[in-house]
Structure 1
Amino acid sequence: MGSLAVSAQSSRYTEAMAKQTADLDSSSTFNPENLQQKSNTFERIAEAEKTQWLPYYYAAYMQIMQAFTSKDKSQIDPLTEKATINLDKAEALISKNSEIACLRSLIASAKLTVDPMNRGPVYGPEAAAQLVTAKTLNPENPRVYMLEGQALLFTPEQWGGSKTKAKTTLELALTKFAAFKPESDISPKWGEAYTRGLLQNASK
């Protein structure tokens, strides 16, 4: 009986997660209300499951996206703090994970946007260091190259940015996306549509 209950619970978990992760590449997800709703749902799933790292990871991803899309800069630090707490919980369940390192890089980038002149020297190197970690942990993770390309595209040339290098890196990201096999139906696979948009931007 015990194993039947576990199997029912795990299929419920997978169904709930599949429903929530299905539209993560859709532009309709990226408005404040939907991001808030999804981050709450992932946190509820995480609290119900407790042994699964993915709900914490996705809750953090939604909070980071809220930070990037918020028009109120005073919201960025609290949102990235929440995301960091969720990533710490995820990392307690699965250590040395490339996807988590990618999100930690995004957190540093979001924090930098609050005050680029003063925060750049701290959070710029941190964002880059997390991507180095992410690439070391999984050189085939396409999101690493997407984030590298994004950094090259949006960093001014005098600080090491380059549209040409961005284009090359984003093309590599798309090659990695084409070959990438997520570990499961609910494992991270977001970013390909966004990479295509970045590449268009880099090609102008």
Structure 2
Amino acid sequence: MKKLFLTMLLLTTVSIFAQTTFDKVMTEKIAKIDQAKTPEDFTALSNDFVRIGDKEKTQWLPYYYAAHTSIEKGRMLMRTGKVTELDAITAEAQTSLDKASDLSKDNAEIFILQKMIHGLRMMVDPQVRYMSESMLGAAALEKAEKLAPENPRITMLKAEDTYFTPEQFGGSKTKGLELFQKALDQFKVYQPKTSLDPNWGKGEAEYFLANKP
């Protein structure tokens, strides 16, 4: 009995130590996302998160952040007009996101990233891809909203779409800014499930509201 107790105590201690180490490593890597300044920075972070995920095997968050950093790399390149690189980047992001999805079903945060991937794919050739990718993106965002209607990142993506879509196609900068404000209000009360769970996006809402046309 004593031997069984000691074995259980040892296993518990090892498990707690492993979780603590995982939390520490992930916290350090997540903090570096906001510090990333170049596509290469995002590539390095994405690779780091993939390595963590491959080591842990049962944790969805490393693969989520691998996809997230790949997407942020794509958005950075898109803003500088380098859209020809987006197909390869979204393929990398999709691979990581699929692994996260396999480990965490019906997860609103994963559907949010899926919507962003479709948005980047569309930007490679908007005239050809608009219908297919926009519909797939809208479907992903709808799934996210059903699972977590008060998630501010859902509102953020709606705000982006509304703000950047020309008025003749149903967009509106005014309505977009209203949605950015709604997202910011949601961020004020939103609480991630854990310290490692996604909590990004507030800065973007603040930026658009501070730079109204």
User: What is the percentage of aligned positions where both structures have the same residue?
Assistant: 35
Question: Among residues 65, 73, 76, which one is paired with 1:66 in the alignment?
Answer: 73
SS state at 2:127 partner: helix
Output the CA distance in 2 between the equivalents of 1:59 and 1:32. 13
Q: Deviations over 1:122-154 (max 9, x none)?
A: 111222221111111101111000110011111
Instruction: Report SS of the residue matched to 1:188.
Output: coil
Q: How many residues align?
A: 201
Contact 1:32 1:69 in 2 (8 A): yes
Partner Cα distance (1:30, 1:53) in 2: 25
Question: Which position in structure 2 is the counterpart of 1:76?
Answer: 86
1:139 matched to 2:149? The reply is yes
The CA distance in 1 between the partners of 2:180 and 2:54, in whole Å, is 36
Give, as a single letter, the amino acid of the residue that structure 2 aligns with 1:55.
P
**Contact kept in structure 2, 1:150 and 1:198, CA below 8 Å:** no
Of residues 154-163 and 103-112 in structure 1, the stretch that sits farther from structure 2 once superposed is: 154-163
Structure 1 residue 23 displacement after superposition: 4.1
Structure 2 equivalent of residue 168 of structure 1:
178
Cα offset, 1:20, TM superposition = 1.0
Distance 1:5 1:111 in 2: 43
Supply the RMSD in Å over aligned alpha carbons.
Answer: 1.3
Structure 2 gaps, min length 5: 1-9
Out of 5, 16, 33, the residue aligned to residue 7 of structure 1 is 16
CA deviation string 1:77-113 (max 9, x = no partner)? 1111111111111111111111111100000000011
Matches of 1:102 and 1:193, distance apart in 2: 17
Higher relative contact order at CA 8 Å, sep ≥6: structure 1 or structure 2?
1
TM-score of the pair, normalised by structure 2: 0.90
Deviation at 1:195, TM superposition (A): 1.4
Distance in 2 between the 1:30 and 1:130 partners? 28
Runs of 4+ in structure 1 displaced over 3 angstroms? none
Q: Which amino acid aligns with 1:15?
A: K
Larger radius of gyration: 2
Unaligned runs of 5+ in 1: none
Which of the numbers 85, 92, 95 marks the counterpart of 2:95?
85
Change (3 A) 1:122 1:68: same
